[in-house]
Chains A and B, each alone.
Chain A
Protein backbone atom coordinates (compact mmCIF):
# COMPACT_ATOMS: atom_id res chain seq x y z
CA UNK A 1 0.00 0.00 0.00
CA UNK A 2 1.31 3.39 -0.96
CA UNK A 3 2.06 6.11 1.62
CA UNK A 4 -0.65 8.25 0.01
CA UNK A 5 -3.21 5.50 0.54
CA UNK A 6 -2.17 5.07 4.16
CA UNK A 7 -2.32 8.81 4.74
CA UNK A 8 -5.82 9.04 3.32
CA UNK A 9 -7.39 5.81 4.55
CA UNK A 10 -5.20 4.71 7.48
CA UNK A 11 -7.16 6.38 10.28
CA UNK A 12 -10.60 5.71 8.75
CA UNK A 13 -9.79 2.00 8.40
CA UNK A 14 -8.53 1.76 11.99
CA UNK A 15 -11.66 3.54 13.24
CA UNK A 16 -13.88 1.23 11.18
CA UNK A 17 -12.21 -1.87 12.60
CA UNK A 18 -12.45 -0.47 16.16
CA UNK A 19 -16.15 0.26 15.69
CA UNK A 20 -16.75 -3.25 14.37
CA UNK A 21 -14.92 -4.75 17.37
CA UNK A 22 -16.97 -2.51 19.68
CA UNK A 23 -20.26 -3.57 18.13
CA UNK A 24 -19.49 -7.29 18.25
CA UNK A 25 -17.63 -7.61 21.57
CA UNK A 26 -20.57 -6.72 23.83
CA UNK A 27 -22.80 -9.14 21.93
CA UNK A 28 -20.55 -12.05 22.85
CA UNK A 29 -20.50 -11.61 26.60
CA UNK A 30 -21.07 -9.40 29.62
CA UNK A 31 -18.65 -7.75 32.02
CA UNK A 32 -15.16 -7.57 30.55
CA UNK A 33 -16.37 -7.63 26.96
CA UNK A 34 -18.68 -4.69 27.69
CA UNK A 35 -15.58 -2.65 28.59
CA UNK A 36 -13.73 -3.81 25.48
CA UNK A 37 -16.73 -2.64 23.51
CA UNK A 38 -16.88 0.73 25.30
CA UNK A 39 -13.19 1.41 24.66
CA UNK A 40 -13.37 0.32 21.01
CA UNK A 41 -16.45 2.47 20.34
CA UNK A 42 -15.16 5.28 22.54
CA UNK A 43 -12.00 5.93 20.51
CA UNK A 44 -13.82 7.01 17.30
CA UNK A 45 -16.21 9.13 19.35
CA UNK A 46 -13.34 10.77 21.26
CA UNK A 47 -11.30 11.38 18.10
CA UNK A 48 -14.28 12.86 16.25
CA UNK A 49 -15.12 15.13 19.18
CA UNK A 50 -11.49 16.21 19.62
CA UNK A 51 -10.97 17.15 15.98
CA UNK A 52 -14.38 18.86 15.76
CA UNK A 53 -13.80 21.12 18.73
CA UNK A 54 -10.06 21.85 18.82
CA UNK A 55 -8.54 24.99 17.39
CA UNK A 56 -6.16 24.02 14.63
CA UNK A 57 -3.88 25.59 12.08
CA UNK A 58 -3.61 23.92 8.74
Chain B
Protein backbone atom coordinates (compact mmCIF):
# COMPACT_ATOMS: atom_id res chain seq x y z
CA UNK B 1 0.00 0.00 0.00
CA UNK B 2 1.22 3.48 -0.77
CA UNK B 3 1.31 6.07 2.02
CA UNK B 4 -1.59 7.86 0.32
CA UNK B 5 -3.76 4.72 0.34
CA UNK B 6 -2.93 4.12 3.97
CA UNK B 7 -3.81 7.70 4.84
CA UNK B 8 -7.18 7.34 3.09
CA UNK B 9 -8.03 4.16 4.98
CA UNK B 10 -6.83 5.79 8.19
CA UNK B 11 -9.20 8.68 7.53
CA UNK B 12 -12.12 6.27 7.00
CA UNK B 13 -11.16 4.36 10.13
CA UNK B 14 -10.82 7.50 12.21
CA UNK B 15 -14.13 9.07 11.31
CA UNK B 16 -16.30 5.95 11.15
CA UNK B 17 -15.13 4.93 14.60
CA UNK B 18 -15.09 8.41 16.15
CA UNK B 19 -18.74 8.95 15.30
CA UNK B 20 -19.94 5.60 16.66
CA UNK B 21 -17.46 4.97 19.48
CA UNK B 22 -19.39 6.46 22.41
CA UNK B 23 -22.58 4.69 21.33
CA UNK B 24 -20.66 1.44 20.91
CA UNK B 25 -19.23 1.82 24.41
CA UNK B 26 -22.78 2.31 25.67
CA UNK B 27 -23.95 -0.78 23.77
CA UNK B 28 -21.06 -2.89 25.09
CA UNK B 29 -21.61 -1.78 28.69
CA UNK B 30 -25.40 -2.24 28.63
CA UNK B 31 -25.04 -5.46 26.63
CA UNK B 32 -22.99 -7.07 29.40
CA UNK B 33 -25.89 -7.36 31.91
CA UNK B 34 -28.24 -8.28 29.06
CA UNK B 35 -26.14 -11.41 28.35
CA UNK B 36 -26.93 -12.51 31.90
CA UNK B 37 -30.49 -11.18 32.11
CA UNK B 38 -31.90 -14.51 33.30
CA UNK B 39 -29.29 -14.84 36.06
CA UNK B 40 -29.68 -11.21 37.12
CA UNK B 41 -33.46 -11.54 37.14
CA UNK B 42 -33.05 -14.63 39.30
CA UNK B 43 -30.76 -12.77 41.72
CA UNK B 44 -32.99 -9.70 41.93
CA UNK B 45 -36.04 -11.90 42.33
CA UNK B 46 -37.70 -10.42 39.25
CA UNK B 47 -37.67 -13.74 37.40
CA UNK B 48 -40.97 -15.48 38.09
CA UNK B 49 -40.69 -19.20 38.72
CA UNK B 50 -43.40 -21.81 39.07
CA UNK B 51 -43.74 -23.97 42.15
CA UNK B 52 -42.22 -27.45 41.70
CA UNK B 53 -44.77 -30.11 40.75
CA UNK B 54 -44.37 -33.56 39.21
CA UNK B 55 -43.41 -33.27 35.55
CA UNK B 56 -46.54 -35.11 34.40
CA UNK B 57 -48.93 -32.72 36.17
CA UNK B 58 -51.65 -32.04 33.61
CA UNK B 59 -51.79 -28.57 32.05
CA UNK B 60 -54.70 -26.24 32.65
CA UNK B 61 -56.98 -25.22 29.80
CA UNK B 62 -55.58 -22.21 27.94
CA UNK B 63 -58.90 -20.40 28.17
CA UNK B 64 -58.58 -20.52 31.98
CA UNK B 65 -54.98 -19.26 31.73
CA UNK B 66 -56.22 -16.34 29.64
CA UNK B 67 -59.08 -15.64 32.05
CA UNK B 68 -56.60 -15.51 34.95
CA UNK B 69 -54.42 -12.99 33.11
CA UNK B 70 -57.42 -10.79 32.25
CA UNK B 71 -58.62 -10.93 35.87
CA UNK B 72 -55.19 -9.59 36.92
CA UNK B 73 -55.60 -6.51 34.72
CA UNK B 74 -59.35 -5.84 34.45
CA UNK B 75 -60.30 -3.80 31.37
CA UNK B 76 -57.14 -4.70 29.44
CA UNK B 77 -57.15 -6.99 26.42
CA UNK B 78 -54.80 -9.86 25.69
CA UNK B 79 -51.96 -9.06 23.28
CA UNK B 80 -49.58 -12.01 23.43
CA UNK B 81 -48.94 -15.19 25.32
CA UNK B 82 -45.67 -17.09 25.10
CA UNK B 83 -43.57 -19.82 26.64
CA UNK B 84 -39.84 -20.15 27.03
CA UNK B 85 -38.52 -23.14 25.06
CA UNK B 86 -37.13 -24.71 28.25
CA UNK B 87 -40.06 -24.14 30.62
CA UNK B 88 -43.61 -25.23 29.85
CA UNK B 89 -44.86 -24.73 33.41
CA UNK B 90 -45.56 -21.02 32.99
CA UNK B 91 -47.15 -18.75 30.42
CA UNK B 92 -45.93 -15.17 29.95
CA UNK B 93 -48.97 -13.03 29.30
CA UNK B 94 -48.86 -9.53 27.80
CA UNK B 95 -51.87 -7.23 28.02
CA UNK B 96 -52.65 -3.68 26.91
CA UNK B 97 -55.38 -1.18 26.12
CA UNK B 98 -55.32 -1.95 22.39
CA UNK B 99 -53.39 -4.06 19.91
CA UNK B 100 -50.80 -1.36 19.22
CA UNK B 101 -50.39 -0.35 22.90
CA UNK B 102 -46.70 -0.10 23.76
CA UNK B 103 -47.36 0.38 27.47
CA UNK B 104 -47.52 -3.36 28.09
CA UNK B 105 -48.62 -5.06 31.29
CA UNK B 106 -47.11 -8.43 32.09
CA UNK B 107 -48.27 -11.27 34.20
CA UNK B 108 -47.10 -14.83 34.52
CA UNK B 109 -49.69 -17.58 34.85
CA UNK B 110 -48.95 -21.09 36.08
CA UNK B 111 -49.65 -23.41 33.13
CA UNK B 112 -50.90 -26.19 35.43
CA UNK B 113 -53.04 -24.38 37.98
CA UNK B 114 -54.06 -21.36 35.84
CA UNK B 115 -53.19 -19.17 38.84
CA UNK B 116 -51.67 -15.76 38.10
CA UNK B 117 -48.28 -15.50 39.84
CA UNK B 118 -47.03 -12.23 41.36
CA UNK B 119 -45.09 -10.61 38.51
CA UNK B 120 -42.83 -7.55 38.89
CA UNK B 121 -43.36 -5.12 36.00
CA UNK B 122 -40.47 -4.82 33.59
CA UNK B 123 -40.70 -1.08 32.89
CA UNK B 124 -38.73 0.91 35.45
CA UNK B 125 -36.59 -2.04 36.53
CA UNK B 126 -32.80 -2.03 36.25
CA UNK B 127 -32.95 -4.43 33.32
CA UNK B 128 -35.46 -2.25 31.47
CA UNK B 129 -33.04 0.69 31.69
CA UNK B 130 -30.26 -1.52 30.27
CA UNK B 131 -32.66 -2.79 27.63
CA UNK B 132 -33.79 0.64 26.43
CA UNK B 133 -30.27 2.09 26.41
CA UNK B 134 -29.18 -0.92 24.36
CA UNK B 135 -32.13 -1.14 21.98
CA UNK B 136 -33.82 2.19 21.34
CA UNK B 137 -32.38 4.93 23.61
CA UNK B 138 -35.99 5.50 24.80
CA UNK B 139 -36.77 6.86 21.34
CA UNK B 140 -38.79 4.05 19.81
CA UNK B 141 -38.31 3.14 16.19
CA UNK B 142 -36.12 6.15 15.45
CA UNK B 143 -33.85 5.26 18.35
CA UNK B 144 -33.48 1.76 16.95
CA UNK B 145 -32.75 2.96 13.44
CA UNK B 146 -30.21 5.44 14.78
CA UNK B 147 -28.38 2.69 16.65
CA UNK B 148 -28.56 0.62 13.46
CA UNK B 149 -26.78 3.43 11.62
CA UNK B 150 -24.12 3.49 14.35
CA UNK B 151 -23.80 -0.27 13.84
CA UNK B 152 -23.19 0.29 10.15
CA UNK B 153 -20.41 2.75 11.01
CA UNK B 154 -18.94 0.12 13.32
CA UNK B 155 -18.80 -2.33 10.40
CA UNK B 156 -17.00 0.30 8.30
CA UNK B 157 -14.58 0.88 11.17
CA UNK B 158 -13.93 -2.85 11.45
CA UNK B 159 -13.21 -3.28 7.73
CA UNK B 160 -10.94 -0.24 7.59
CA UNK B 161 -9.27 -1.40 10.79
CA UNK B 162 -8.41 -4.74 9.19
CA UNK B 163 -6.93 -2.95 6.19
CA UNK B 164 -4.76 -0.88 8.53
CA UNK B 165 -3.67 -3.95 10.48
CA UNK B 166 -1.26 -4.83 7.64
CA UNK B 167 0.98 -1.73 7.60
CA UNK B 168 1.07 -1.59 11.39
CA UNK B 169 1.86 -5.24 12.00
CA UNK B 170 4.08 -6.10 9.01
CA UNK B 171 7.27 -5.97 11.07
CA UNK B 172 5.82 -7.43 14.24
CA UNK B 173 4.98 -10.96 15.32
CA UNK B 174 1.36 -11.69 16.11
CA UNK B 175 0.57 -10.68 19.65
CA UNK B 176 3.50 -8.31 20.13
CA UNK B 177 2.79 -5.61 22.73
CA UNK B 178 5.67 -3.16 22.97
CA UNK B 179 5.39 -2.29 26.63
CA UNK B 180 8.86 -0.78 26.89
CA UNK B 181 8.00 2.01 24.44
CA UNK B 182 5.62 4.91 25.06
CA UNK B 183 2.16 4.22 26.54
CA UNK B 184 0.75 5.20 23.15
CA UNK B 185 2.75 2.47 21.39
CA UNK B 186 1.64 -0.06 23.98
CA UNK B 187 -2.01 0.85 23.55
CA UNK B 188 -1.66 0.89 19.76
CA UNK B 189 -0.39 -2.69 19.93
CA UNK B 190 -3.18 -3.72 22.31
CA UNK B 191 -5.72 -2.04 20.02
CA UNK B 192 -4.38 -3.99 17.04
CA UNK B 193 -4.13 -7.26 18.97
CA UNK B 194 -7.61 -7.22 20.52
CA UNK B 195 -9.08 -5.68 17.39
CA UNK B 196 -7.90 -8.58 15.24
CA UNK B 197 -8.82 -11.18 17.89
CA UNK B 198 -12.41 -9.92 18.25
CA UNK B 199 -12.73 -9.12 14.53
CA UNK B 200 -15.03 -11.94 13.36
CA UNK B 201 -17.13 -11.97 16.51
CA UNK B 202 -17.62 -8.20 16.57
CA UNK B 203 -18.44 -8.12 12.87
CA UNK B 204 -21.11 -10.78 13.32
CA UNK B 205 -22.53 -9.23 16.51
CA UNK B 206 -22.45 -5.76 14.94
CA UNK B 207 -24.09 -6.88 11.70
CA UNK B 208 -26.79 -8.95 13.43
CA UNK B 209 -27.45 -6.10 15.85
CA UNK B 210 -27.91 -3.76 12.92
CA UNK B 211 -30.31 -6.21 11.26
CA UNK B 212 -32.28 -6.42 14.50
CA UNK B 213 -32.89 -2.67 14.45
CA UNK B 214 -34.96 -3.26 11.32
CA UNK B 215 -37.21 -5.86 13.00
CA UNK B 216 -40.20 -3.53 13.41
CA UNK B 217 -40.03 -2.44 9.79
CA UNK B 218 -39.63 -5.98 8.45
CA UNK B 219 -42.60 -7.28 10.43
CA UNK B 220 -44.70 -4.31 9.32
CA UNK B 221 -43.80 -5.04 5.71
CA UNK B 222 -44.67 -8.72 6.14
CA UNK B 223 -47.99 -7.79 7.73
CA UNK B 224 -48.93 -5.47 4.89
CA UNK B 225 -47.96 -7.93 2.14
CA UNK B 226 -48.02 -11.64 2.86
CA UNK B 227 -50.28 -11.59 5.88
CA UNK B 228 -52.68 -9.22 4.15
CA UNK B 229 -52.98 -11.86 1.40
CA UNK B 230 -53.59 -14.63 3.90
CA UNK B 231 -56.44 -12.80 5.63
CA UNK B 232 -57.85 -11.10 2.53
CA UNK B 233 -61.28 -12.83 2.83
CA UNK B 234 -61.75 -11.10 6.21
CA UNK B 235 -61.03 -7.64 4.89
CA UNK B 236 -64.55 -6.25 5.36
CA UNK B 237 -65.64 -8.47 8.23
CA UNK B 238 -66.97 -6.61 11.27
CA UNK B 239 -64.74 -6.45 14.36
CA UNK B 240 -65.02 -9.41 16.70
CA UNK B 241 -67.17 -9.06 19.81
CA UNK B 242 -66.07 -12.27 21.48
CA UNK B 243 -63.32 -14.78 20.86
CA UNK B 244 -63.55 -18.51 20.29
CA UNK B 245 -61.75 -21.19 22.27
CA UNK B 246 -57.97 -20.87 22.42
CA UNK B 247 -57.66 -24.54 23.34
CA UNK B 248 -59.32 -25.58 20.10
CA UNK B 249 -57.26 -23.06 18.15
CA UNK B 250 -54.00 -24.45 19.57
CA UNK B 251 -55.17 -28.02 19.03
CA UNK B 252 -55.78 -27.17 15.37
CA UNK B 253 -52.31 -25.64 15.03
CA UNK B 254 -50.71 -28.67 16.69
CA UNK B 255 -52.62 -31.01 14.39
CA UNK B 256 -51.23 -29.10 11.42
CA UNK B 257 -47.62 -29.15 12.73
CA UNK B 258 -47.37 -32.12 15.11
CA UNK B 259 -43.56 -31.89 15.33
CA UNK B 260 -43.56 -28.28 16.48
CA UNK B 261 -44.49 -26.49 19.68
CA UNK B 262 -46.01 -23.14 20.55
CA UNK B 263 -43.54 -20.24 20.56
CA UNK B 264 -46.01 -17.44 21.05
CA UNK B 265 -49.60 -16.56 20.29
CA UNK B 266 -50.60 -13.13 19.02
CA UNK B 267 -54.14 -11.98 19.76
CA UNK B 268 -56.36 -10.22 17.22
CA UNK B 269 -55.38 -6.60 16.59
CA UNK B 270 -51.66 -6.95 17.38
CA UNK B 271 -48.99 -6.36 14.71
CA UNK B 272 -48.38 -10.11 14.34
CA UNK B 273 -51.83 -11.07 13.19
CA UNK B 274 -55.08 -9.58 11.85
CA UNK B 275 -58.17 -8.17 13.56
CA UNK B 276 -59.88 -11.54 13.20
CA UNK B 277 -57.20 -14.11 13.86
CA UNK B 278 -55.18 -15.76 16.53
CA UNK B 279 -51.63 -15.86 15.20
CA UNK B 280 -50.16 -19.08 16.58
CA UNK B 281 -46.40 -19.04 15.97
CA UNK B 282 -44.98 -22.56 16.06
CA UNK B 283 -41.29 -23.33 16.55
CA UNK B 284 -39.08 -26.37 15.99
CA UNK B 285 -37.03 -28.31 18.51
CA UNK B 286 -33.37 -27.76 17.53
CA UNK B 287 -31.37 -24.66 18.53
CA UNK B 288 -31.73 -23.48 14.95
CA UNK B 289 -35.39 -24.24 14.28
CA UNK B 290 -36.51 -23.18 17.76
CA UNK B 291 -35.71 -19.65 16.57
CA UNK B 292 -37.77 -19.91 13.41
CA UNK B 293 -41.49 -19.45 13.45
CA UNK B 294 -44.20 -21.02 11.38
CA UNK B 295 -47.25 -18.79 11.70
CA UNK B 296 -50.65 -20.47 11.74
CA UNK B 297 -53.50 -18.00 11.39
CA UNK B 298 -56.62 -19.24 13.09
CA UNK B 299 -60.06 -17.67 12.86
CA UNK B 300 -60.53 -16.21 16.33
CA UNK B 301 -64.25 -16.94 16.28
CA UNK B 302 -64.48 -20.47 14.91
CA UNK B 303 -60.98 -21.59 16.02
CA UNK B 304 -60.45 -23.08 12.54
CA UNK B 305 -57.26 -22.65 10.50
CA UNK B 306 -57.40 -19.91 7.86
CA UNK B 307 -53.88 -20.22 6.45
CA UNK B 308 -50.30 -21.11 7.32
CA UNK B 309 -47.18 -20.24 5.38
CA UNK B 310 -43.48 -20.32 6.04
CA UNK B 311 -41.97 -16.96 6.88
CA UNK B 312 -40.37 -15.08 3.98
CA UNK B 313 -36.59 -15.05 3.67
CA UNK B 314 -36.14 -11.63 5.24
CA UNK B 315 -37.91 -12.65 8.45
CA UNK B 316 -36.04 -15.96 8.53
CA UNK B 317 -32.82 -13.96 8.22
CA UNK B 318 -33.91 -11.60 10.97
CA UNK B 319 -34.83 -14.43 13.34
CA UNK B 320 -31.59 -16.31 12.63
CA UNK B 321 -29.59 -13.16 13.28
CA UNK B 322 -31.02 -12.88 16.79
CA UNK B 323 -29.19 -15.76 18.51
CA UNK B 324 -25.97 -14.66 16.82
CA UNK B 325 -26.42 -11.28 18.46
CA UNK B 326 -27.62 -12.50 21.86
CA UNK B 327 -25.15 -15.38 22.34
CA UNK B 328 -27.81 -17.34 24.19
CA UNK B 329 -27.69 -20.59 22.22
CA UNK B 330 -24.64 -22.36 23.64
CA UNK B 331 -25.12 -22.55 27.39
CA UNK B 332 -23.12 -20.91 30.17
CA UNK B 333 -19.73 -21.30 28.49
CA UNK B 334 -20.91 -19.36 25.49
CA UNK B 335 -22.40 -16.61 27.65
CA UNK B 336 -19.07 -16.30 29.44
CA UNK B 337 -17.14 -16.07 26.15
CA UNK B 338 -19.68 -13.53 24.89
CA UNK B 339 -19.03 -11.44 27.99
CA UNK B 340 -15.23 -11.83 27.59
CA UNK B 341 -15.38 -10.74 23.94
CA UNK B 342 -17.62 -7.85 24.97
CA UNK B 343 -15.01 -6.70 27.52
CA UNK B 344 -12.25 -7.08 24.91
CA UNK B 345 -14.33 -4.88 22.60
CA UNK B 346 -14.59 -2.25 25.34
CA UNK B 347 -10.76 -2.26 25.50
CA UNK B 348 -10.55 -1.89 21.70
CA UNK B 349 -13.00 1.04 21.75
CA UNK B 350 -11.35 2.68 24.74
CA UNK B 351 -7.82 2.29 23.37
CA UNK B 352 -8.98 3.62 20.01
CA UNK B 353 -10.35 6.71 21.70
CA UNK B 354 -7.13 7.08 23.70
CA UNK B 355 -5.02 6.81 20.54
CA UNK B 356 -7.07 9.57 18.96
CA UNK B 357 -6.83 11.82 22.03
CA UNK B 358 -3.04 11.30 22.14
CA UNK B 359 -2.67 11.90 18.41
CA UNK B 360 0.16 14.05 17.19
CA UNK B 361 2.42 13.10 20.07
CA UNK B 362 5.79 12.77 18.38
CA UNK B 363 7.12 9.26 18.14
CA UNK B 364 10.41 9.18 20.02
CA UNK B 365 13.58 8.25 18.20
CA UNK B 366 14.28 4.55 18.30
CA UNK B 367 17.02 3.05 20.31
CA UNK B 368 18.89 0.65 18.07
CA UNK B 369 18.70 0.41 14.33
CA UNK B 370 15.60 1.88 12.71
CA UNK B 371 13.37 -0.31 10.58
CA UNK B 372 13.20 1.60 7.32
CA UNK B 373 9.65 0.72 6.38
CA UNK B 374 8.03 1.41 9.72
CA UNK B 375 10.18 4.43 10.51
CA UNK B 376 8.69 6.10 7.47
CA UNK B 377 5.14 5.05 8.26
CA UNK B 378 4.54 5.72 11.91
CA UNK B 379 5.59 9.40 12.04
CA UNK B 380 3.59 10.05 8.88
CA UNK B 381 0.47 8.62 10.50
CA UNK B 382 1.13 10.07 13.91
CA UNK B 383 1.63 13.57 12.61
CA UNK B 384 -1.60 13.28 10.65
CA UNK B 385 -3.32 12.24 13.82
CA UNK B 386 -4.80 9.38 11.90
CA UNK B 387 -3.24 6.42 13.61
CA UNK B 388 -6.26 5.42 15.64
* A residues at B contact (CB < 8 Å): 4, 7-12, 15-16, 19-20, 22-23, 25-30, 34-35, 37-38, 41-42, 44-45, 47-52, 55-58
Contacts and interface: CB of A to CB of B under 8 A. Distances in A.
A24 B132 CA distance: 28
Contacts, number: 105
B324 to A, nearest CB: 6
Contacts of B330: 25-26, 34, 37-38
A20 B200 contact: yes
Q: How large is the interface on B (under 10, 10 to 19, 20 to 34, 35 or more residues)?
A: 35 or more
B287 A45 contact: no
Interface in B189-231: 190, 193-194, 196-201, 204
B173 to A, nearest CB: 7
Contacts of B174: 10-12, 51
A44 B341 CA distance: 9
Given A8-B170, A16-B200, A30-B287, 4 more contacts: A7-B173, A47-B197, A48-B198, A58-B176
B331 interface: yes
Contacts of A52: 177, 190, 193-194, 347
B172 A34 contact: no
A27 B340 contact: no
Nearest to B288: A27
B184 interface: no
Question: Main SS of the interface on chain B?
Answer: helix
Interface string B323-358: 110000111011001001100100100000000000
A8 B329 contact: no
Nearest to B320: A27
Nearest to A44: B197
A12 to B, nearest CB: 5
Contact of B166 (A8, A26, A41): A8
B175 interface: yes
Contacts of A58: 172-173, 176-178
Interface in B160-176: 165-166, 169-170, 172-176
B177 A51 contact: yes
Nearest to B190: A52
Contact of A29 (B199, B287, B334): B287
Nearest to A14: B174
Nearest to A47: B197
B318 to A, nearest CB: 15
Contacts of B197: 15, 44-45, 47-48
Nearest to B324: A23
B235 interface: no
B59 interface: no
A28 to B, nearest CB: 6
Task: Please list the 9 inter-chain residue pairs (A to B) with the smallest Cβ-Cβ separation, ordered nearest first.
Answer: A26-B330, A51-B175, A48-B197, A19-B200, A38-B333, A11-B174, A16-B200, A41-B337, A34-B330
A28 B351 CA distance: 36
Nearest to B169: A8
B102 interface: no
Q: Which of B198, B333, B341 has the most CB of A within 10 A?
A: B333
A7 B171 CA distance: 9
Given A30-B287, A52-B193, A19 B179 contact: no
